[in-house]
A and B are shown apart, each in its own frame.
Chain A
Amino acid sequence: MRDVAVIGIGCTKFGEKWESSFRDIFVEAGALALEDAQLSGEKIDAMYVGNMSAGRFIGQEHIGALIADYAGMATRHIPSTRVEAACASGGLAFRQAVIAVASGMEDIVIAAGVEKMTDVGSDESTDTLTGAADREWEGFMGATFPGLYAMIAQDYMHKYHMTREQLAQVAVKNHYNGARNPIAQFQSEITLDTVLKSTMVAEPLRLFDCSPVTDGAAAVIVAPLERAREFTDTPIKVLASAQASDTIALHDRRDISTLDATVAAGQRAFKKAHLSQKDIDMVEVHDCFTIAEICAIEDLGFCKKGEAGKFTADGETALGGKIPVNTSGGLKACGHPVGATGIKQVCEIVQQLRGTAGKRQVDGAKIGMTHNVGGTGATVAVHILGRV
């Protein structure tokens, strides 16, 4: 297997983009990534596109071909493949691109992610997202996505006695970071009170515990490490790519508040990279809800089970803390265009490793990690990236 490097990144601003279509945003992200790699589209050998549900959100399937067409690659007939794993679609698209290059099958590959969520009403988007869980035996019983994560939170708080304030601190921290990220959907800091007084969605989770509905696209370009310096002075090496599965329904899990697929993917990634938690300078985790970040930092091994609430409240996951988590603002503040999120996480870590993350820069960042979850933990992708 060949070593693989990221040579270009591009990301649209995230938010409610009424003025832009699905096609507009993925073309914008792809163009930004090509420009970043100082590459022309003719050099691209293949594309992988993470997208959860264009079929429901804009009534369009066959996204691989559509994107190749509008990115100007249809006449060259390159292979373009859509990858779907609910909210982990982007992470899996990145992994497919890495595998394609590592195997020697392709040389220069784009991994993109895109979701246009605001062309439908909130009832339709809520129902579409429920399809990431078990439609027959969770959704039909009246479960919503926030409802499932709320049951994780209730189980967690019952077992480990985390306070409501500690949980809210995740959102406060992520908004602080989002306010320092030009592409973030929310650019304002919030207080504990903002979270604790927001509308109740599913007890104990309130509106400010939940990631928003977002439009956005992101793209990264990967190449063999040995050729990376043809395109960039700061190639970022992919040190590990790992993926794991678990039961589709939350109720079938071994433990409700542990994502075993996160544990498995994390362990595989650390083993592959010959690294441990103390080597990681910052991590982008899948905080679709505040409780999801709490579980993620424990399940990835950055603190002990049951201690993430205190760890967060003590500032250990903030910029300047022991392990900065979600410097981009995370899904909570940067926004969560589901198929694009896994690619945006890679863009953020690459910026940190290049030292171009501006006001949210982690000093001396050398190694970073991404963690992307589908559903309530039925699919997880973990990547470790490093400076060379």
Chain B
Amino acid sequence: MSVARFWRHLPQRYNMVGTKCETCGRHFFPPRTFCPDCRRAGKIVEHKFVGSGTVVTYTVIHTAAEQYSMLTPYVLAIVKLDEGPQITTQIVMDPAKVKIGMKVKSVFRKIATDGESGIIHYGTKFVPVE
């Protein structure tokens, strides 16, 4: 991913800054600038997510894309954030212990490396809550 394309989303990727519609109260992560429910009546403001949630579903990836192959096997999950929205993320843990319904919280981690000498991308992953 190019530097500009990644840099554009740093607040979201590093600090889980999303948005919220003040008209209906719905939260968005990844952020949206247009509320699909309220449309033009929506009022979108920034919202920093707490970073905790629950595993909705998961898989353990054994065959990954090239940039992620050094991580295999890794847990990929859909997590429902406490504020409501669902996201796709990795969970840093023993793949044998992942369960649907498990509580997780966000951590700052390396996500991928672009090629051997390329830039390293950081972002948010999750870990189980003890």
Cross-chain contact of B111 among A141, A204, A205 (Cβ < 8 A): A141
**Inter-subunit contact B63/A201 (CB<8 Å):** yes
**Inter-subunit contact B59/A147 (CB<8 Å):** yes
* Residues of the B chain whose Cβ atoms lie less than 8 Å from the Cβ of A152: 57
> How many Å from the CB of B82 to the closest CB on chain A?
15
**Inter-subunit contact B57/A154 (CB<8 Å):** yes
**Inter-subunit contact B76/A127 (CB<8 Å):** no
The docked-state distance in angstroms from the alpha carbon of A153 to that of B61 is 13
**Inter-subunit contact A142/B76 (CB<8 Å):** yes
Range for the number of chain A residues in contact with chain B: 35 or more
* Residues of the B chain whose Cβ atoms lie less than 8 Å from the Cβ of A144: 61, 63-65
The docked-state distance in angstroms from the alpha carbon of A250 to that of B30 is 13
* Residues of the A chain whose Cβ atoms lie less than 8 Å from the Cβ of B60: 202-203
Give the nearest-CB partner of A204 in chain B: B59
One of A132-140, A263-271, A346-354 at the interface: A132-140
> How many Å from the CB of B27 to the closest CB on chain A?
12
> How many Å from the CB of A200 to the closest CB on chain B?
5
B1 interface residue per 8 A CB criterion? yes
A interface residues (Cβ-Cβ under 8 A, vs B): 123, 126-127, 130, 134, 136-144, 146-148, 150-155, 158, 199-205, 249-252, 256
Cross-chain contact of B66 among A127, A139, A141, A256 (Cβ < 8 A): A127
**Inter-subunit contact A203/B62 (CB<8 Å):** yes
B86 interface residue per 8 A CB criterion? yes
Cβ contacts B89-130/A at 8 Å (1 or 0 each): 110000100001000000000011000000001010000000
Cβ contacts B1-35/A at 8 Å (1 or 0 each): 10000000100000000000000000000100000
**Inter-subunit contact B65/A126 (CB<8 Å):** yes
The docked-state distance in angstroms from the alpha carbon of A140 to that of B112 is 8
B52 interface residue per 8 A CB criterion? no
**Inter-subunit contact A123/B66 (CB<8 Å):** yes
B interface residues (Cβ-Cβ under 8 A, vs A): 1, 9, 30, 56-66, 68, 71, 74, 76-78, 85-90, 95, 100, 111-112, 121, 123
Chain B contact residues: helix, strand, loop or mixed: strand
The docked-state distance in angstroms from the alpha carbon of A258 to that of B115 is 37
> How many Å from the CB of A372 to the closest CB on chain B?
24
Cross-chain contact of B65 among A130, A250, A252 (Cβ < 8 A): A130
Give the nearest-CB partner of B101 in chain A: A158
The docked-state distance in angstroms from the alpha carbon of A161 to that of B121 is 38
**In the complex, which of the residues B9, B57, B77 has the most CB atoms of chain A within 10 Å of its own CB atom?**
B57
Q: Which 3 pairs from chain A and chain B are nearest by CB? A: A150-B59, A155-B57, A251-B86
A-B contact pairs, 5 of them (CB 8 A): A126-B65, A144-B64, A150-B59, A201-B62, A251-B56
* Residues of the A chain whose Cβ atoms lie less than 8 Å from the Cβ of B65: 123, 126-127, 130, 139, 142, 144
* Residues of the B chain whose Cβ atoms lie less than 8 Å from the Cβ of A256: 56-57, 78
**Inter-subunit contact A202/B63 (CB<8 Å):** yes
Give the nearest-CB partner of B78 in chain A: A251
Given contacts A155-B57, A205-B59, 14 further A-B contacts (CB under 8 A): A123-B66, A136-B9, A139-B65, A142-B65, A151-B57, A158-B100, A199-B62, A202-B60, A203-B60, A204-B59, A250-B78, A251-B56, A251-B78, A256-B56
* Residues of the B chain whose Cβ atoms lie less than 8 Å from the Cβ of A205: 59
* Residues of the A chain whose Cβ atoms lie less than 8 Å from the Cβ of B78: 151, 250-251, 256
* Residues of the B chain whose Cβ atoms lie less than 8 Å from the Cβ of A151: 57-59, 76-78
**Inter-subunit contact B59/A251 (CB<8 Å):** no
* Residues of the A chain whose Cβ atoms lie less than 8 Å from the Cβ of B89: 141
* Residues of the B chain whose Cβ atoms lie less than 8 Å from the Cβ of A201: 62-63
The docked-state distance in angstroms from the alpha carbon of A203 to that of B58 is 9
* Residues of the B chain whose Cβ atoms lie less than 8 Å from the Cβ of A146: 63
Cross-chain contact of B61 among A137, A142, A155, A204 (Cβ < 8 A): A142
Give the nearest-CB partner of B68 in chain A: A142
